[in-house]
Structure 1
């Protein structure tokens, strides 16, 4: 079947832009299909009509063409998410839209496999794009002007996106055959030595995929676990729980570790970065925290030491999550500190807070033959600690 780049947009209002994208891609020898995701009942030219897409909604097209804009956008988004992944000729996707069109298109793009080229040109791409990108590899491009007809700005932006897509199509990366199982590893700057040593131990037998523990990193890792790409997890850096508990800027979601529980993949976790909450520049730190211990990581990030009570909350929270995991679980506790900042003569050294986490975790965790707590008289970044964690993951793979 001939491969196509799908051009997604509300053709009742964005027809000129979709046709222009098609013309630029045609100049590059790329074939396209225009997919209308309008929620009006207007009949507009498109290769795939809005009625065809809407029919994929579980409740049929009537759920989309309901006359209520908010409900219609939500329903069309759900219909598109069901329509798009089943297309066997799909070589890439370009979506365009304002706030409504972006809301329709983004979830469907998130559902597509990582590595499939996907571009989203949007009027909201200069703001917080996390809800639109999620754990996917969507390339978002800010439209600068509103997508309301063609002009000198919109033509340039659309042409750049189309040419970028053409380049991705021409130079498609092909995954080599899998020779080693992939494992996910979480890292922060303050746990880098631990992760580096763990990779050294694991690299011969595993492909190590490292995720920056900034909220989206943990989600991305678990997303790939759910897809079966990642076969085991070395969750060295669980710092996202700090921001979840204390309101920092890099929180995990309430569902953190749920995918680990559901898939039962081998899991080895630890306390990396549980000594710190992340905020933006110092002036953005909430007033209620002004008397706490801080480190200015850089002009844009301020770190705050966690208290014994916050550590107790995290111990209970992580313990409850681990109790849901019926697969092999090991949780390592570094008795001499959780990060590069949590060691003697460093600003976050606080064994009372660390031990509050340990005590709460032990009081909550239901240890079984497959779920163990392991305490070592080492710091997080001691090479021997990384070697112990990596060795345990290797053993779990041998046993499972």
Structure 2
């Protein structure tokens, strides 16, 4: 049996949390209430704040410090460890203001994708990226503050509770029993990804991620969660934004999930010729003399330089060298994006060669980890053939 977990600070929001739990039960789901209070302990809940705090690596004393900031951060970690220790989590409902949202959502992010997560929050109508990141949390705006029950909060919290009850009570039918493959894509690499998925046909379940920073993190979270069995990382462009300062950056942990899990990995240099910015007016002045391409009124692309490509290649090499599973990284010497081709705006063989040569020099090649040049453009059908051949090879 899976259960609905209702989580929050019962010392200040006990009435609201109790009401949420009541509505979940009334809708037919079993409930576990969890207290994450850091100031006043002993509030009525199925799982006490002391029990949750005991899951902190340094024990409950690390949570109940008397300082609100450190206590909230420590309780967030304890809640994460607590939820991951349970085998019956069918869904999680959290209620809170800015502090409660910051406390509860890290634990929600740690719970595998596909487990229901609803956060009723006062900050849900603003920038929720820091709370959601690459997870499937549903941010539910509370409208009024989470500070008592009234005609508005009862409806909002009740609707969220009923939604969670539905999630817990009604399991989504399993997908076709095909191995999941993660693929990364940008508009300028779409022909390659489309050709690859066509070649793989119905033998796999292709999961395509838009390489906008969050997309790469989402793919790697699914790898960490064991929901993706192999990766075709065709568009590694997020590394450009991380190192040069664009708006779609990876994190320093890009490729970390591949290293941790050892899943079969095929990668390439898709869109490593570009850094992403917003509208042209948003490009930092220090880049005024660079080569740009206006992708659309909201997205301006900047061509990477040979020096930047050396740094990008070194970053990728560090990540690839940490991978003990089977790795193939292919270098499309005819160009790395639709814009990097003869006659196109970003065609720059010198910059590409700096990228390719550095990868060849910095990646420690072994029987299982190889870097290979392919004499085609990334969007050529022949390059898609090479990627699929490499993918089949690393499955063995």
TM-score w.r.t. length of structure 1: 0.92
- Evaluate the alpha carbon distance shift between residue 116 and residue 326 of structure 1 in structure 2; reply closer, same or farther with a 3 A threshold: closer
- Evaluate the alpha carbon distance shift between residue 369 and residue 44 of structure 1 in structure 2; reply closer, same or farther with a 3 A threshold: closer
Matched residue count: 396
Q: Where do residues 287-298 of structure 1 align in structure 2 (5 Å cutoff)?
A: 287-298=285-296
1:71 aligns with 2:67: no
Q: Could you say what secondary structure the match of 2:191 adopts?
A: helix
Structural RMSD (CA):
2.0
Contact 1:41–1:65 at 8 Å: present in 2 too? no
Aligned to 1:127: 126
Q: Where do residues 1-400 of structure 1 align in structure 2 (5 Å cutoff)?
A: 3-176=2-175, 179-398=177-396
Distance, in Å, in 1 between the alignment partners of 2:150 and 2:283 is 42
Contact 2:96–2:122 at 8 Å: present in 1 too? yes
Distance, in Å, in 2 between the alignment partners of 1:337 and 1:179 is 36
Give the CA deviation at 1:193: 0.9
Q: Could you say what secondary structure the match of 1:203 adopts?
A: helix
Distance, in Å, in 1 between the alignment partners of 2:39 and 2:281 is 46
Which runs of no fewer than 5 residues in structure 2 stay unpaired? none
Distance, in Å, in 2 between the alignment partners of 1:355 and 1:181 is 35
Give the CA deviation at 1:34: 2.2
Moved more, 82-91 or 9-18: 82-91
Moved more, 314-323 or 273-282: 314-323
Distance, in Å, in 1 between the alignment partners of 2:269 and 2:360 is 13
Q: Could you say what secondary structure the match of 2:266 adopts?
A: strand
Distance, in Å, in 2 between the alignment partners of 1:113 and 1:373 is 32
Q: Could you say what secondary structure the match of 2:106 adopts?
A: helix
Contact 1:8–1:34 at 8 Å: present in 2 too? yes
Which runs of no fewer than 5 residues in structure 1 stay unpaired? none
Distance, in Å, in 2 between the alignment partners of 1:358 and 1:295 is 23
Q: Could you say what secondary structure the match of 1:242 adopts?
A: helix
1:5-44 CA distance string (max 9 Å, x none):
1111111111222123233324422332321111013432
Q: Could you say what secondary structure the match of 1:345 adopts?
A: coil
1:174-224 CA distance string (max 9 Å, x none):
325x73322211111111110011111123332222121111222222222
Q: Could you say what secondary structure the match of 1:118 adopts?
A: strand
- Evaluate the alpha carbon distance shift between residue 269 and residue 168 of structure 1 in structure 2; reply closer, same or farther with a 3 A threshold: same
1:120-140 CA distance string (max 9 Å, x none):
112222333233223321111
- Evaluate the alpha carbon distance shift between residue 157 and residue 283 of structure 1 in structure 2; reply closer, same or farther with a 3 A threshold: farther
- Evaluate the alpha carbon distance shift between residue 299 and residue 149 of structure 1 in structure 2; reply closer, same or farther with a 3 A threshold: farther
Distance, in Å, in 2 between the alignment partners of 1:11 and 1:299 is 47
Q: Could you say what secondary structure the match of 1:204 adopts?
A: helix
Q: Could you say what secondary structure the match of 2:118 adopts?
A: strand
Distance, in Å, in 1 between the alignment partners of 2:41 and 2:324 is 52
- Evaluate the alpha carbon distance shift between residue 325 and residue 58 of structure 1 in structure 2; reply closer, same or farther with a 3 A threshold: closer
Give the CA deviation at 1:354: 1.4
Distance, in Å, in 1 between the alignment partners of 2:93 and 2:119 is 6
Moved more, 111-120 or 82-91: 82-91
TM-score w.r.t. length of structure 2: 0.93
Distance, in Å, in 2 between the alignment partners of 1:35 and 1:276 is 46
Contact 2:113–2:222 at 8 Å: present in 1 too? no
Distance, in Å, in 2 between the alignment partners of 1:257 and 1:88 is 28
